Structure 1
Amino acid sequence: MKLVYICSPLRGAIEENIKKAYRYCEYAAGCEVIPLAPHTIFTAYLDDTIREQREQGLKMGLELLKRCDEIWVCGDEISQGMQGEIDLASKLKIPTVYVLEHHIEEGLKIRQNSMALGVEDCLIGSNQQDYENKILVLNPEALISNCRTVENSLWIAYNGFGCTYGARGQAVYAKNLFDGRESRWERADFLGIVKPESLRKWLENTPIRNELAESLVMDHNKCEDIER
């Protein structure tokens, strides 16, 4: 199971925010990860209203973050302390998942679909299109068996001769949509360009923040509204 850092507000309504953090931990445990919310632990012996002790707590929390597999940003508010944790996660390439209040209130369990995307999630004929700046579905067969997960399914192509359909060179340089790591692939490793509806479901199951992905889903939703 993955060790997940629970990032949520503390300053202000401290008692209420600690109760919320407990609820976020309960939710995360229900999503089959191990939640770690340092601010629910440190407040037993550190006073967040005292500057020196608050700074000590923040520093200790950041050290724990370095040991976690992911960070889950919980709730609809991002405080100054949370932003520092998000920035460190970004610097260390620790995947960041955004768990909003509606996920919890509506019982929308994230990270439950562990099946990698396939050819049925690609636009028809898109394997004969150019790939640069497109979100691509990686063929699960290109990965070792224990890495064939939904998190490894989608990649943003940004360079390489293989991005151009019909080119002699086949290298495609792409960035993983979930965790941002970069890798070199062959064009044949990709099944095609992801369907907007499959991308939307992927984002619901693994809620991250990416401007390209969010704009594609937004455009798709607008087209659906017009058709209705």
Structure 2
Amino acid sequence: MTRFILLFVTFFYTISAVNAQESFIGDINYQLLEKYVDLALKNYPKRKMYKASELSAKAKIGVAKATYLDAFTASYNYSPNNAARYNTANPYTLNGIQFGIYFNIGILFRTPALVRQAKEEHNEKFYQAQEYDILLRSEVKKTYYEYLRESADLRVKAQTYIDNKAASDGLRYKFEKGEVSLDDYTKAKTLTSYANSERLLAELNLLKAKEELEALIGEELKNVK
């Protein structure tokens, strides 16, 4: 009878350990997961850094194109009509308003290369930002799945502890009545202690997964519905 009871306690723990491998796929909320991804793309600092770098590179394209204007310089001069045609105060051969446009061909030839360079730099930053978005999406999803797995693992191990404690308490009652040996009772308590340790470890792992997910999305999970 004693061996049967001890086997019963061990059976509780073994079945619970097997149940820890149950699928958590049914717990996945894909709509909520997309919200987590969107929040990460909006809030995660490193993603903001990549986006700012891309926008900065895009702005440089406009700056490079504006260099075309540097090739042209306009000026004007006004000389009264009644002024002498040429003297030290009026060193011009014509009177009235005079306009002039100066053209720098070197700048004109150099600017297209500057524009192409700016566009290539923008493309580089754009593709880097795209790559990081893909990696960030993947990281959020993996962390969310890990969070669900740890949550399921905690449920199983919490139930394992409850079951083992109930069986151990039953053995304690029988031990006090002299129906089981001290050795059997001690083994049952050891199993219960181990189950409790596993439960506490599962709680810790769940908290870690929760913290990692919240760090990615920039929000507490309880605030995301």
What is the TM-score with the length of structure 1 in the denominator?
0.21
Q: By percentage of residues, which structure has more helix?
A: 2
* Bigger strand share: 1
Higher relative contact order (Cα pairs below 8 Å, separated by 6+ residues): 2
